[in-house]
Amino acid sequence: MSDQDAVSPVARRAGVIGSYRRGVRIKAQPGVATAEMEDDVHHFQVALRHADGVITAVEAAAPRTPWVTCPGALMQLKTLGGLRLEDVKALSRSERFEHCLHLFDLALLAASRAQDAPFERVYRIDADHDAAQPLMRMWRDGIELLSWRVDDGRVQGSRYDGAALAELSRRLGELGADEAEAVLILRRASLISFVRTVDLDAVSSSNALRASPGATCYAKQPVRLDEAERAVGSSRDFWTQGTWPLEP
């Protein structure tokens, strides 16, 4: 497969790539916290039921996934049952990588807000790839909150100037809860938004898209990497449609 074969059809239109879009909704009611994420290539939902600070049940759904093996991660997420809510963020790097990274992000967001009930918050992210340095913009409950450009994997144009995206997660503990939540969400969107430039339906498998010597999520674990075939036709183009993820 040549690079041209993998370029998104959107990117072939007069050089216009457009924007990757993502929505995240976090809610908490007494006894249950939920988080949902939808973007061009994913749609995941997580619910954590809890009592006395302990997760009693984990429910999850995957309406859209990029690879056919991704839904298997729903059962893996259930291993969080029995943990204390605050212990979700304490899982080791290797333990996190056994999960779908998107499902785990949602579980982490839900766990961090479970004790704040009643609570509801919606984020929107727009990643404009028609620039040499893609521009990431974030709105929280309709108000623009944070933006930065990404230059060779580093943040530019915000208070996090010069920080590598890979390093930002290690700085979350230094931030207040609201800021850490926003940075976590925008960082993940920044790392994933490159899919706007790729026609995933022209890619046979996750393994063909990107070599993964160090598996970083459920679908890229060596035991199932060869089975991670493309879920053809599962992507959506919210920017071209003029819509946002998680809209009714």
Q: Over its length of 248 residues, how does the chain's per-residue pLDDT go in tens digits?
A: 333 333 344 444 446 789 999 999 999 999 999 999 999 999 999 999 999 999 999 999 999 999 999 999 999 999 999 999 999 999 998 898 889 999 999 999 999 999 999 999 999 999 999 988 999 999 999 999 999 999 999 999 999 999 999 888 888 888 899 999 999 999 999 999 988 988 888 888 777 665 444 566 787 787 877 788 899 999 999 999 999 999 98
CA distances from 159 to 96, 128, 146, 150, 217 (A): 28, 20, 9, 13, 29
State the pLDDT at residue 65. 95
Q: Are 42 and 66 in contact (CB under 8 A)?
A: yes
Taking the C-alpha atoms of residue 191 and residue 10, their distance in angstroms, rounded to an integer, is 20
In 10 A of CB 13, how many CB atoms?
Answer: 11
Taking the C-alpha atoms of residue 76 and residue 224, their distance in angstroms, rounded to an integer, is 14
135-160 core/surface letters (b: 16 or more CB in 10 A; e: else):
bbbbbbeeeebbebbbeeebbeeeeb
Taking the C-alpha atoms of residue 229 and residue 183, their distance in angstroms, rounded to an integer, is 31
| DSSP at 214 | S
Query: Count H helices, E strands: the chain?
Result: 8, 8
State the pLDDT at residue 166. 84
Taking the C-alpha atoms of residue 9 and residue 138, their distance in angstroms, rounded to an integer, is 26
Spans of all domains in the chain: 9-197
Q: Are 120 and 27 in contact (CB under 8 A)?
A: yes
Nearest to 103 by CA among 57, 154, 167, 58: 58
- Return left, alpha or beta for 87; rule: phi > 0 is left, psi -120 to 50 is alpha, else beta: alpha
Sequence-distant (≥ 6) Cβ neighbours of residue 230 within 8 angstroms: 66, 67, 68, 200, 201, 203, 204, 205, 206
